[in-house]
Amino acid sequence: MRLALMILFGGFFWAFLAFDRPALAAAGPPVRTLSATADTSIRTRREAIKSIPLDRLEASDREKVAAVLSNVTVFRRMPTKVIDCDPKMYLFLVRHPDVVVSIWELLKISKLQMSETGDGAFALSEPDGASVSLRFVHQSHDTHVIYGEGTYRGPLLPRPVTGRGVLVLKTGYVRETNGRYYITNRLDCFLSVEPIGAELLTKTVSPLVGKTADNNFTQSAAFLSTISRTAEVSSRTIRALALRLDRVQPEVKAKLVVLAEAVNRKSVAARAENEKVKR
């Protein structure tokens, strides 16, 4: 189960643990749901596969992704979520999941540990025996494709089990008349587990994995919004957090601080403009 969840969500930023969203901001932003339930149907799986820009992937990456898609143990389209978030902050956090996982670790929300191993590549580990390597094989404004490989060692199975996964994040942006951006998140997950673990996953673990996944997708999306809204109110809070993220590269922490300050300035300017309108 741990391996399945880590492959499914470690590549983006969803931890496998259920947790309460930390109070970075005084009041957490709401998350709107466009689809209330997950979808695991064959029809949706086919639609999801067609939406993957395979022609834009490097040949070696395309081969790896295709291998997963041709041997899917579990497919799940998460309930579609809409969050209030600055677009630049959103893209930064999506593309630097180590920042989010490190904040969770710092706040003792989870025991996951994540570090960047290369451009768009990350290593994720968890004390109870699961480890995953993940890499963005495609990034654009509205589509991210992540490929992951992992191993689980633990008491559930007689020997280590390996698995591979593909995540496809589709994003839409809407700017409301009040100037705020609302971002739609749709995540398609494909998991392929070697035969020794496939039966356990599909018959015993899959229902639990799905429910936990849906919950964590909602919580994690809300967490991104919380970081963005916290930056609006106090960029100093984000700066203080960034300085304590020991697993994050210095240049990434510096970019987080710069982004937080930009979000804060934009928010201050928007509030000032609104005050003028009221007068």
For the entire predicted model, the pTM comes to 0.85
Tell me: the pLDDT tens digits for 15-34?
A: 333 333 333 443 445 566 66
* Cβ within 8 Å of residue 10, ≥6 positions away: 16, 97, 101, 112, 114, 122, 124, 132, 134, 148, 150
Give yes or no for a contact between 217 and 187, defined as CB atoms under 8 angstroms apart.
yes
Cα end-to-end distance, the chain, whole Å: 57
Residues of the chain with pLDDT under 70: 1-36, 128, 154-159, 195-212, 277-279
Q: Please list the residues that pair with 184 across neighbouring strands.
A: 82, 172
> Which amino acid is it at 72?
V
Tell me the Ramachandran region of residue 136: left when phi exceeds 0, alpha when psi lies from -120 to 50, beta otherwise: beta
Tell me: the pLDDT tens digits for 112-151?
A: 889 999 999 999 887 767 788 999 999 999 999 999 988 8
Report the SS3 class of residue 251.
Answer: helix
* Cβ within 8 Å of residue 141, ≥6 positions away: 91, 171
Tokens linked to 100 = 């989010």
Give the C-alpha separation, 62 to 247, whole Å.
Answer: 30
Tell me what pLDDT residue 195 has: 64
Domains for the chain: give ranges and CATH numbers.
2-268 (3.30.530.20)
Q: Please list the residues that pair with 167 across neighbouring strands.
A: 146, 189
Tell me what pLDDT residue 145 has: 96
